[in-house]
Chains A and B, each alone.
Chain A
Amino acid sequence: MLKSKEFASESWLTKLGVRNYKVFTMSRAICGLLCIGLQFAVPAVAEEVSREQIKGIDEQVQEIKKDVLSISSELKLLEEKLLYPSNTQVSLFVSLPGKDKFRLDSVEVMLDGKAVATHIYSFKELEALQAGGMQRIYTGNVQTGEHLLKVGSIGKGADGKERRQTGEYRFKKGIGPGLVEINLAGAGEGGNGIGFKDW
């Protein structure tokens, strides 16, 4: 016959770890908060995996991250020099105003009549744009001189209705790298259309 006291004292309460309180870390997000909470029920790490092992491998991972970041940085510079030399390089950036309730779905970019980039936005990407980030949507090579940029965007306004907008812009590519910002500031209600900025 099972006895209730056995249940309570030996399994459940012990698992709850009421004697082993952990600090509640306020700054963590809800997942982290849940994780900390669940630590009450997590048993000590098995003997086969020691804390030293965990720490040791963590340090090695940090070291390799540093190495790979260094390679990445070198590679980026090499790529820019090799594939997009400054005299022909042109980069197009997409930005959004943070407070706009416009839900951007996709953007299509044409440069001198050729479709050079299309992008469908995930929620994370949209949030990043609204927070002030800028997306480099295209990097390529063009000759010095004047070029025509056409941009089309599709999204939904605060009223849930689909909004399609197009805009075009002529920019002059000089001897240095060309940087053009495509600002979808006017995509929401009462907006003034797609804006451009030649950096």
Chain B
Amino acid sequence: MTGKTLRLVALLLASGSTLANAAPSVELKDPYFGEALYYAYQQRHFDAISRLDTELVQYHGVDEPLLDSLNYHINQAEFSVGDFELGYRMHQRAGRAISAVIEGNVPPAVRNEAIYRLARLLFQTQDYANALHAIERIKGELPPGMENPIAFLKGQIYLVNGRFSDAEQIFAALEGRSGYQGFAAYNRGVTLFALGRDAKAAEAMDRAGGVAGNERETEAIRDKANLVLGSRLLEKGEAQLAGKYLERVRLDGPFSNRALLGAGWADIKRDDFKHALVPWSLLFKRNVTDPAVQEALLGVPHAYAQLGLYGKSALLYGSALDKIGSELDKLDASIDSIRQGRFMQALVREEGRENKDWVIRLRELPQTPETFYLMELMASNDFQTMLQNYLDLEDLRIRLASWSTDYAAYNDIIELRRRYYEPLLPTIDAQFRKLDSVIRLRMEQRERLDKKLNKMLVAPQPEFLATAQERISKERIDALEKSLKGKRVDADTLHRVARLKGAILWNITTNYQTRLSEAFEHLAALDKDIAALQVTYAAFVRTRQAATQSYQGYDEPIRRLALKTDNALATVNTLMARQGHLLEVMAVNELVRRRQKLEEYQVQARFALAENYDRASKAKTQEETLRLNEAQQKAAANAPATEQPAAQPAPAMEQETK
């Protein structure tokens, strides 16, 4: 296995497979790893990867990595890098690393988890064919706790690849498992609809729409299932049943506008126009940029017209036309604004991204009318990918620009250090060389003493431990002996000399053990002094090296890094321009589409307004005529002898006309 493979194998053996599981399962032993996690938990993936990359480079660069504190977390650290890369949408790098594990000599459970991760990655990047190829390679022992996630992913991949029957079987099995009920039932419903088994599909959707739970995800899947099922039933003409499901959708959820619109249409289909006004009137008051609300602008007067309230209907059509006109102006302003580059400026505004629902909140940002109509587009996968890329590029641009200015500061620091140290160092070095030679000499002396004493342990040499006085006395006696040699000397003198010599020898020999012990004690004391000397010596050498290293050897790395930074900044700027342009094109296309739809509504509303106005006028005229006729008949009956006045419908007509 390669080093990278080994790294990932070890990592895959770790319990977690997602960022949430990056938390250290054991006590944190390396603060720098903790720092990387600190960034990762805040979704600051760049900082997290960068921190961990740096630590890993240092870890693999040291002579004894086992002594490095990161060694306690090395497997988890390597694993986390892959997770952080996925979080940072670096799928290629993460994918290559996972593939290396799969190809390596690893246990089946580890390989299967790696394949699962690769398949998930491919599925997320919409590479469905390869995702299918990958997931089908999972065979044998599964990693613990991964059975359900693997099955769910497999079902999803089968579904998007058109293998509906296989997908349906998987979702059916998952429906009974804790935590999967709603999601499995919904996806099962989708597969059954695709298979044309509508009755069974409706049952599955019904189960998904009624799944218990207060979590946001559960509430969302419930709403989604009810909306889809209601829409499907409405399409099939089962309006009554459709209404039941559409009314299940929460009024404050993300799907409520569509559900309210659908509920209204379900009532209309049953000719219950009065009831249709209930959901539509709610919708009528909501944000007018929403397509469902815009449709309700015409739906409400349409229902009133069906109820025969032509005047009210005409008034509401008039109001709708005002709103549509205003929205068309807003759309024009938005298109202009995007073409002037303000859309991208709004998207990169920091305050908007503090919240995780920041895309939704864009609508609330002041001075960004261009975002009002783009909520749906901005929620699409393609747009999200491109937008995230754009934001990542903006982040990279800011970093690179900041680094570019840092290099000049580093060069200034280096230059200042050079000017300070260079004049000082020659004198210091000369003094140090002298001191160094003395230290070396003393060290050699110490070594000699040490060797001698150690030899004396084996072969005693008492004379080596004679005191200076004893040595002098012995030398004097030897000299005396030498001078007396060949001379006539009395025996008493010779005896005295011999006694003195003997006394010295006696002392040296009898005190040998004591002296030897003392010698060793002195040597130990000397060693202490030498150790202190060596500390000072090492400190000096380090300080001396640090002085040199503080300004030497940086020029080339800084020049190289500055060049790399400039090149990267140029690339980032180019990519930002291209990515931004694509986003703007998508946004303008969407706005133009919405504009066209509003124009259609405008035409429809104008015709409907005129028609209802005519109907209202006609009804009024008929009513007036009827009233006058009745009055005339009454007058004729009361006064038969007098001349009958002519009927005067004109004022009423004028009033009606007005």
Chain A partners chain B? yes
Name which residue of chain B comes closest to A3, CB basis: B302
Question: In the complex the two chains form, what is the Cα distance from A26 to B300 in whole Å?
Answer: 37
Contact flags (1/0) for A22-48 with B, using CB distance below 8 Å?
111111011101111111011101101
Question: In the complex the two chains form, what is the Cα distance from A128 to B589 in whole Å?
Answer: 40
Question: In the complex the two chains form, what is the Cα distance from A9 to B279 in whole Å?
Answer: 19
Interface positions, chain B 280-331, Cβ under 8 Å from A, are 291-292, 295, 298-299, 302, 305
Question: In the complex the two chains form, what is the Cα distance from A33 to B227 in whole Å?
Answer: 15
Contact B235 A53, beta carbon cutoff 8 Å: no
Residues of B within 8 A of A71 (CB): 400, 403, 561, 564-565, 568
Interface centre among A15, A35, A61, A127 (most CB of B within 10 A): A61
Contact B561 A65, beta carbon cutoff 8 Å: no
Question: In the complex the two chains form, what is the Cα distance from A93 to B28 in whole Å?
Answer: 12
Interface centre among B38, B90, B186, B557 (most CB of A within 10 A): B38
> Chain A: residues with CB nearer than 8 A to chain B?
1-2, 4, 7-9, 11-13, 15-16, 18, 21-27, 29-31, 33-39, 41-43, 45-46, 48-49, 51, 53-54, 57-69, 71-78, 81-83, 85, 87-88, 91, 93, 95, 124-125, 127-129, 131-136, 144, 175, 179, 181, 199
The answer, among A42, A135, A144, for a CB contact under 8 Å with B376, is A42
Contact flags (1/0) for B384-404 with A, using CB distance below 8 Å?
111001001100100110010
Residues of A within 8 A of B539 (CB): 144, 175
Contact A136 B31, beta carbon cutoff 8 Å: yes
The answer, among A25, A51, A134, A199, for a CB contact under 8 Å with B69, is A199
The answer, among A13, A57, A81, for a CB contact under 8 Å with B234, is A13
Residues of A within 8 A of B88 (CB): 65
Answer whether A62 and B90 are a contact pair too, CB < 8 Å, given A7-B265, A78-B561, A179-B31.
yes
Answer whether A133 and B34 are a contact pair too, CB < 8 Å, given A2-B608, A64-B396, A66-B90.
yes
Contact B41 A131, beta carbon cutoff 8 Å: yes
The answer, among A16, A54, A59, A82, for a CB contact under 8 Å with B92, is A59
Contact A37 B546, beta carbon cutoff 8 Å: no
Question: In the complex the two chains form, what is the Cα distance from A175 to B43 in whole Å?
Answer: 35
Tell me how far the C-beta of A4 lies from the nearest C-beta in chain B, rounded to whole angstroms: 4
Tell me how far the C-beta of A163 lies from the nearest C-beta in chain B, rounded to whole angstroms: 22
The verdict on B537 contacting chain A, using a C-beta distance below 8 Å, is no
Tell me how far the C-beta of B548 lies from the nearest C-beta in chain A, rounded to whole angstroms: 11
Contact A37 B585, beta carbon cutoff 8 Å: no
Closest 3 CB pairs of A and B: A133-B38, A134-B34, A128-B41
Answer whether A49 and B38 are a contact pair too, CB < 8 Å, given A42-B376, A78-B558.
no
Tell me how far the C-beta of B43 lies from the nearest C-beta in chain A, rounded to whole angstroms: 8
Residues of B within 8 A of A43 (CB): 590, 593
Tell me how far the C-beta of B229 lies from the nearest C-beta in chain A, rounded to whole angstroms: 9
What bracket does the count of chain B residues touching chain A fall in? 35 or more
The verdict on B100 contacting chain A, using a C-beta distance below 8 Å, is no
Residues of A within 8 A of B608 (CB): 1-2
The verdict on B217 contacting chain A, using a C-beta distance below 8 Å, is yes
The verdict on B377 contacting chain A, using a C-beta distance below 8 Å, is yes
Tell me how far the C-beta of A93 lies from the nearest C-beta in chain B, rounded to whole angstroms: 5
Contact A2 B298, beta carbon cutoff 8 Å: yes
Tell me how far the C-beta of A148 lies from the nearest C-beta in chain B, rounded to whole angstroms: 20
Name which residue of chain A comes closest to B185, CB basis: A24
Contact A67 B380, beta carbon cutoff 8 Å: no
Question: In the complex the two chains form, what is the Cα distance from A30 to B355 in whole Å?
Answer: 13
Question: In the complex the two chains form, what is the Cα distance from A81 to B561 in whole Å?
Answer: 15
Contact flags (1/0) for B160-194 with A, using CB distance below 8 Å?
10000000000000000000100100110010011
Question: In the complex the two chains form, what is the Cα distance from A11 to B596 in whole Å?
Answer: 13
Interface positions, chain B 409-437, Cβ under 8 Å from A, are 410, 413-414
The answer, among B37, B231, B389, B558, for a CB contact under 8 Å with A16, is B231
Contact A68 B265, beta carbon cutoff 8 Å: no
Contact A62 B228, beta carbon cutoff 8 Å: no
Contact B34 A132, beta carbon cutoff 8 Å: yes
The verdict on B40 contacting chain A, using a C-beta distance below 8 Å, is yes
The answer, among A1, A41, A46, A181, for a CB contact under 8 Å with B586, is A46
Question: In the complex the two chains form, what is the Cα distance from A41 to B357 in whole Å?
Answer: 19
Question: In the complex the two chains form, what is the Cα distance from A60 to B93 in whole Å?
Answer: 12
Residues of A within 8 A of B186 (CB): 24
17 more A-B contacts (CB under 8 A) besides A34-B379, A82-B413? A2-B302, A12-B295, A22-B190, A30-B216, A31-B360, A35-B380, A42-B380, A43-B593, A61-B389, A61-B393, A65-B88, A68-B572, A75-B406, A75-B561, A131-B37, A134-B38, A175-B539
Question: In the complex the two chains form, what is the Cα distance from A61 to B578 in whole Å?
Answer: 11
Residues of A within 8 A of B589 (CB): 46, 48-49
The verdict on B622 contacting chain A, using a C-beta distance below 8 Å, is no
The verdict on B571 contacting chain A, using a C-beta distance below 8 Å, is yes
Contact B194 A38, beta carbon cutoff 8 Å: no
Contact B90 A13, beta carbon cutoff 8 Å: no
Residues of B within 8 A of A38 (CB): 254, 375-376, 379-380
Residues of B within 8 A of A26 (CB): 152, 180, 183, 217
Contact A18 B235, beta carbon cutoff 8 Å: yes
Contact A29 B568, beta carbon cutoff 8 Å: no
Question: In the complex the two chains form, what is the Cα distance from A60 to B386 in whole Å?
Answer: 12
Interface centre among B58, B302, B377, B382 (most CB of A within 10 A): B382
Contact A23 B382, beta carbon cutoff 8 Å: no
A-B contact pairs, 26 of them (CB 8 A): A7-B265, A8-B268, A12-B258, A18-B228, A18-B232, A21-B190, A33-B221, A37-B255, A39-B379, A39-B380, A46-B590, A48-B589, A54-B385, A57-B386, A58-B385, A62-B90, A64-B393, A65-B46, A66-B90, A69-B50, A71-B565, A77-B57, A87-B543, A87-B546, A125-B42, A175-B542
Residues of B within 8 A of A34 (CB): 220, 254, 360, 379
Contact B220 A135, beta carbon cutoff 8 Å: no
